[in-house]
Structures are given as structure tokens and as C-alpha cells.
């Protein structure tokens, strides 16, 4: 009996351990309750949003309606360029007589005629003239007044009597027109270019042969004429033909003066131009590109070895070399290339 009571007691104890006891609930303090209430209020109360100030936009530009085009309005005309008063143009043909390169005998007389058109706005009156400009005048009268009026758009043939020089060589005579006020004008885009006659003088009876140079001169492969010359005070020299003190002073290109102030002066004549190039020998292209002037060159000591580029009165390019000076005599050598 006692054993049964003990077993029953153990069984009851085991059953009691298997039953889950409810956990005890902790009682919150007053501070915890207060904090919980504040958090709840914070979560339930919406955050106050600060308003963002708005900015008033300013218009960038004001649109203006385009007016309707008046279709009846006349078309805009391009301005007409001003026509110069005095302007000539080459006629057809320009060289009515004596084309360039015509062969002449020494002293031969001939008549040269050019055909020109008046493309300016002014009438050429009988006070206008055909005027010698540069080169060799070929013994022509240097001012030849027109024998008739030439209105704008009209064409006229201008004629002048000339004579070939006595010395063989190539000669060019440049001419222009002059207004009643004496202002020169010519042909070309700007109306400032001369027109010319160019002839070749050969010894009598050799019109079909190549002219023979004088013994002191030599033809060269690179040039037209070359030689040496000694200049004394007052000497003049023709660079186109290699002639010292030519019979006609209008043929001379170079003038030398000595024993003055300054002691020595070289100057050009009859429309010739030149420029001191320096110690290096210039080629034809160098002289062609050089800026040539008509000023005199003066010096107290002879700059031996100095080269000078030149353009003759017949428009031929060349170079001059100062060789030296001795007893009042200036020695130079020259090379004149073919006329362009």
C-alpha cells in the first residue's frame, strides 16, 4: 500500500512539470509610460513643412509679329558703280599698225596707229592729247592733240609719226592720254596703264638676220646684252644697247657725276628705275620682284662689289655691278635681260 502511495506521488510530480506556467508580466514604470506617450505623439503628429519661396520668371524677349510682306513693292536694284571720267580701253585691234617686234632699218620712218575706246563718262575734247610717257620717244612729237571729240563709248584711231634710231637694238616707246587739265590716264583695269610700240632696229640689209652686237658687248645664254664700261664725270650710258654717251640723250639710262657734293652720284634717266641689291648677285626673278625707284645713288667711297637691279627706259630688266674706282673713273659691268 505504501509503495502505491509513493508511485502516485511521483506521477503527480511528473505531470505537474509538463504543464507550462504563464510568464509573469513586468509592470512598466511611470517614466517608461511617459516616454512611450511622447514617441506615440511624435509619430502621430505630422512634421511641419516649410514653404519654398517661389521666384517670378522674367521673360527673355518679347516676340513681335512679322508684318506681312507687301508683294507690290518694287525690287531692290543693285547700286551702279561710279564710272570714272577718264578711262580708255584697248580697241580691236589695239595695234592697227606696227605690231610689237616689227623689224626696222636704222633711221627708218614709220607711222604708228593705236585704236582706243572711250569707256569713261567724260567726252574727250580736242584739248585731250596723245602724250609720250616713258621709254624712247622714237623722235616723235611728244604731245599730239586729238583732231576730233570722242564721246563715251566711241572708238578712235590715234596716229603718230616716228623714226627708228640709228643704233641697232630693241626699243619701246610708252604712251598715255592726257586730259584738258593735263592729268594722264590710259588703259587697263584702273585706267592707268600705258600702251606702247616696240620695234627692233637691225643694220641695213640684215632685216631677216639677228642683229650683231658691237665688239665690246657679248650676247649671253642667260641675258640679252652684257658688257663693261668705264664712266667719267658727265658720262651717260644706254643700258639697252650698251652705248656710252649716245647721240640722242633720250636713249640714255644712266648718268654719272664726279667731283661734286657728294663726291660721286649715279642717277637714272628717261624713266629708268633701279635699286641697290647688295653683295649677292641677283637673278632676273630677284630684280623682277624688287621695288625699283628713280632716286639717285650717292657715295663718298666706291662700294666695289655692290649689285644694283635696274629697269631700263625700254622696260628691260638687268643688273649692274660696281667693279671699282680709279683716277676719277668708275668701272661697272652690266647685264640686260630680254625685254619682258
**Residues 334, 317 contacting (CB under 8 angstroms):** no
Q: Where are the alpha helices (DSSP H) in the chain?
A: 2-18, 30-44, 284-289
**What nine digits make up the cell of 47?**
512634421
pLDDT for 32 equals 57
pLDDT of residue 316: 85
What pLDDT, in 10s, does the model give residues 111-147? Answer: 999 999 999 999 999 999 999 998 899 999 989 999 8
pTM for this model (two decimals): 0.42
* pLDDT at site 210: 42
User: What pLDDT sits at residue 82?
Assistant: 80
Do 134 and 97 contact (CB within 8 A), yes or no? no
Closest CA to 113 of 175, 49, 192: 175
CATH label, 88-201, candidates 2.60.40.10, 1.20.120.10, 3.10.310.10, 2.60.120.10: 2.60.40.10
Nearest to 139 by CA among 238, 250, 247: 250
Q: What is the pLDDT of residues 195-238, one digit of tens each?
A: 999 999 999 776 544 443 443 444 443 456 788 889 998 899 99
Residues of the chain with pLDDT under 70: 1-9, 11-81, 206-224, 260-262, 301-302, 338-340
- Residue 127 CA to residue 135 CA, distance in Å, equals 24
Q: What is the mean pLDDT of the chain?
A: 78
What span, in angstroms and rounded, lies between the C-alpha atoms of 18 and 23?
A: 15
Say what the pLDDT of residue 339 is: 46
Q: Taking a C-beta distance cutoff of 8 angstroms, is the pair 251, 136 a contact?
A: yes
Domain segments of the chain: what residues?
88-201, 217-336
Q: What distance in Å separates the CA atoms of residue 224 and residue 217, rounded to the nearest whole number?
A: 10
**C-alpha neighbours within 13 Å on the C-beta side of residue 44:** 6
Amino acid at each position: 500500500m505504501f509503495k502505491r502511495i509513493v508511485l502516485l506521488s511521483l506521477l503527480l510530480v511528473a505531470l505537474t512539470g509538463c504543464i507550462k506556467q504563464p510568464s509573469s508580466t513586468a509592470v512598466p514604470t511611470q517614466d517608461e509610460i511617459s516616454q512611450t506617450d511622447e514617441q506615440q505623439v511624435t509619430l502621430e503628429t505630422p512634421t511641419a513643412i516649410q514653404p519654398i519661396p517661389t521666384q517670378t520668371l522674367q521673360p527673355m524677349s518679347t516676340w513681335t509679329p512679322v508684318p506681312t510682306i507687301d508683294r507690290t513693292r518694287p525690287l531692290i536694284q543693285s547700286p551702279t558703280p561710279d564710272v570714272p571720267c577718264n578711262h580708255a580701253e584697248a580697241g580691236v585691234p589695239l595695234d592697227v599698225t606696227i605690231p610689237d617686234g616689227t623689224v626696222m632699218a636704222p633711221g627708218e620712218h614709220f607711222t604708228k596707229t593705236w585704236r582706243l575706246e572711250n569707256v569713261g563718262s567724260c567726252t574727250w575734247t580736242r584739248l585731250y592729247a596723245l602724250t609720250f610717257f616713258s621709254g624712247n620717244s622714237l623722235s616723235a612729237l611728244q604731245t599730239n592733240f586729238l583732231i576730233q571729240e570722242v564721246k563715251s563709248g566711241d572708238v578712235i584711231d590715234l596716229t603718230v609719226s616716228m623714226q627708228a634710231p640709228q643704233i641697232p637694238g630693241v626699243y619701246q616707246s610708252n604712251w598715255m592720254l592726257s586730259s584738258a587739265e593735263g592729268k594722264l590716264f590710259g588703259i587697263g583695269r584702273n585706267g592707268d596703264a600705258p600702251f606702247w610700240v616696240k620695234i627692233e632696229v637691225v643694220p641695213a640689209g640684215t632685216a631677216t638676220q639677228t642683229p650683231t652686237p658691237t665688239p665690246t658687248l657679248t650676247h649671253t645664254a642667260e641675258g640679252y646684252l652684257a658688257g663693261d664700261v668705264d664712266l667719267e664725270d658727265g658720262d651717260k650710258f644706254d643700258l639697252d644697247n650698251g652705248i656710252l654717251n649716245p647721240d640722242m640723250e633720250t636713249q640714255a639710262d644712266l648718268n654719272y657725276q664726279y667731283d661734286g657734293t657728294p663726291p660721286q652720284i649715279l642717277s637714272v634717266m628717261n624713266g629708268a628705275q633701279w635699286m641697290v641689291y647688295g653683295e649677292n648677285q641677283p637673278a632676273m626673278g630677284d630684280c623682277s620682284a624688287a621695288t625699283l625707284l628713280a632716286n639717285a645713288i650717292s657715295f663718298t667711297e666706291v662700294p666695289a662689289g655692290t649689285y644694283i637691279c635696274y629697269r631700263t627706259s625700254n622696260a628691260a630688266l638687268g643688273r649692274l655691278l660696281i667693279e671699282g674706282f680709279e683716277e676719277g673713273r668708275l668701272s661697272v659691268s652690266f647685264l640686260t635681260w630680254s625685254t619682258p
